[in-house]
Amino acid sequence: MARTITFATLFAAVNYAFAAPWKGEVKKVGGATYQCKCYSDNSCWPTNADWNALNKTVDGALQVAVPPGAACHKSFENSTVSVYNKAACAEVQANWINEQWLTDHPIANLWPLYTNNTCLPNDDPSTPCTRGFYGRYVVLAKTKEHIKAGIDFARERNLRLIIRNTGHDFMGRSTGFGSLIINTHSFKDVSFLKTYSGPGNWTGSAAVVGAGVQGRELFRQAFAQKPPVVIVGGECPTVGWAGGYIQGGGHGPLTSIYGMGADNVLAFDAVTVDGEYVTANAKENSDLFWALKGGGPSTFAVVVSITVKTFPEVPTAGTIININSTHTNDSAVFNKGFHIFHNLANHYVDNGMFVYFEVGPGPGRLHIAPLVGPKMDEKKLNEVLKPLFDQLDAAKIPHDRHTRAFPTFFEFYIDMFEDEQPNQNSIVGGRLFTRKDIDDGADEVADAILFASGNPTKDRIGFSVGHIVDPGHGVPYADNAINDKWRKSSSFVITNVIMSGLESWEEKKQLEDVQTNVVGKRLREAGPDGATYVNEGDLNEPNWQHSYWGDKYPRLLEIRKKWDAKGVLYTKTTPGTEDWDVLDQGTKLCRKVS
């Protein structure tokens, strides 16, 4: 089976052995000089003996990084070993849009753009399979000692290091060309505490959550407690809760009453880039504690587990609304309906609500699934949503809607939220609109979202995923790295310029420009008081330091220089990466030195 091809099977065939000092090549680009990480075509690349030694250190947990679709191809890169397996190929094809299967894979990335759409499963085994932008080796870590060994190996040999939890990100931070990957997906332990004993001022219940735990499984375990509890998590069930989700901030259906995911963190256990085991909390390594709460994924240290607040279960009601081609093909009617819905964003968050919605692809489709009313029954939710229903009915906007109530959030979540579909291609961007943006220009914001979701260029359609949410409603202040604009937020939208996946490098760059300077420009103009979100934004966002973190960026940069001065960790548009670039058409990571 493709995902169980072993280290021993392919090691000799794909490894390049050289013996030399641990230093990458020097490149000159546009008048600048870069010092690169070490890659397999450099003399510094580790020898077979080096890789074998690492494999022994991690108890045999090192594997060749094989793309999930490799089983559908007779050859893999320059290997003389056939990797084709008909049954395994059928499994890959059957699970290509199964998020859980993909997140369980050692290296799969759910957004194929950042793998260069390499080695896709198909019905023609004679087609070539290359690694593309995937890494070369992966440590399937089972212990923190395995994590330390991988970090030490990468640091000492100047290798690009990738930390992969689930591969569930829109910004390519879970993969990297020629890298050593540390997979933390196996850290699944969760323990619940009736009373947290500090440090800090929280004395309520808590949970200690391993780095590999995913959203739905965490919700499920919390619900199984006696009495049941809830944890702030995302709407997507397969997101790695204790990975990039928390380290980027983390919003979700309970955010308007309990704040962001990172607002509720009490402690981190982590491994530093120097290979040291540390605890970060209000008393120990407090600067690292502050930065890990929203300062960016894979930026300051590798998280092993997180201690987080838990809360009593709450009754929750939800409403689903659709306006699409079964209701109207009149764009003016549709646009009016979207304006009515979205212009009430401040009203929803004033009532502690969270709303998930999709617009597009292309014009004429709005899927609100759902409007979430924590601590509400059906009667209360209908009262809160009466202005929406009345305005839709008065404007004669054709639509369907239904409302349901549940005794707990967990039962609501399982029933009313829908799984997403991975392995789609698009260039991603986004914008956080504040309450002031909505007050000052609700129509302009709605028009910008419709523009992004329709036809932003004559030959490209868009698609947007929206989240109406305000962590400031429940948590007006939190001492962490999250941009303060979140405390005044009303609506956050992820925009997509849709691709086929067959575009050339030059075409990809053109579409990135469309996302940043056509779609993104329109969003920024409509929401001048807004910001962007660390986990779901544009990699080419202008002035990204301030847009992602606001006035907190200088402190984050200082902390990054303390905890990772040499750049052992790297993810684009995170603190301290100003002098780093990925050169040679998305391959080699290099640092500008002059």
Can you give the CATH number for the domain in which 458 is found?
Answer: 3.40.462.20
pLDDT more than 70, % of the chain:
96
Q: What is the mean pLDDT of residues 452-463?
A: 95
Give CA–CA dist 190/57, Å, rounded. 26
Counted domains in the chain? 3
Domain-ending residue, one of 312, 327, 352: 312
Cβ burial, residue 565 (10 Å; 0-12/13-18/19+)? exposed
Q: Which residues of 378-411 are buried (b: 16+ CB within 10 A; e: fewer)?
A: beebbebbeebbebbeeeebebebebbbbebbbb
* Average pLDDT in the chain: 94
Domain-ending residue, one of 312, 341, 368: 312
Residue 330 lies in a domain: yes
Query: Does one domain contain both 533 and 411?
Result: yes
Check whether the bond before 370 is cis (ω within 30° of 0).
yes
3-state secondary structure of 550: helix
Give which of 202, 53, 229, 256 is closest to 137, Cα–Cα.
Answer: 53
Residue 590 lies in a domain: no
Q: Is the pLDDT of residue 449 over 80?
A: yes
Q: Is the pLDDT of residue 136 over 60?
A: yes
Bridge-based pairing state of the strands 354-359 and 462-468: antiparallel
Q: Is the pLDDT of residue 2 over 50?
A: no
pLDDT, one tens digit per residue, over 68-122 is 999 999 989 877 677 899 999 999 999 999 999 999 999 999 999 999 999 999 9
Query: Does one domain contain both 231 and 151?
Result: no
Query: Does one domain contain both 472 and 388?
Result: yes
Query: Does one domain contain both 291 and 364?
Result: no
Token representation of residue 440: 């000052």
Query: Does one domain contain both 377 and 498?
Result: yes
> In this predicted structure, what is the pLDDT of residue 82?
77
> In this predicted structure, what is the pLDDT of residue 261?
98
pLDDT, one tens digit per residue, over 242-297 is 889 999 999 999 999 999 999 999 999 999 999 999 999 999 999 999 999 999 99
pLDDT, one tens digit per residue, over 34-64 is 999 999 999 999 999 999 999 999 999 999 9
Query: Does one domain contain both 116 and 197?
Result: no
Residue 124 lies in a domain: yes
Question: pLDDT class for 22, splitting at 50, 70, 90?
Answer: low
Domain that holds residue 35: 2-183
Q: Is the pLDDT of residue 18 over 70?
A: no
Query: Does one domain contain both 170 and 199?
Result: no
Residue 578 lies in a domain: no
Query: Does one domain contain both 438 and 480?
Result: yes
Token representation of residue 245: 């989700």
For residues 20 and 195, the model is more confident at 195
3-state secondary structure of 353: coil
Sheet containing strand 265-271, strands side by side: 190-193, 206-210, 302-309, 265-271, 277-281
Q: What pTM was estimated for this model as a whole?
A: 0.95
Question: pLDDT class for 423, splitting at 50, 70, 90?
Answer: very high
- Tallying the residues shown for the chain, one arrives at 594
Domain-ending residue, one of 278, 312, 346: 312
3-state secondary structure of 62: strand
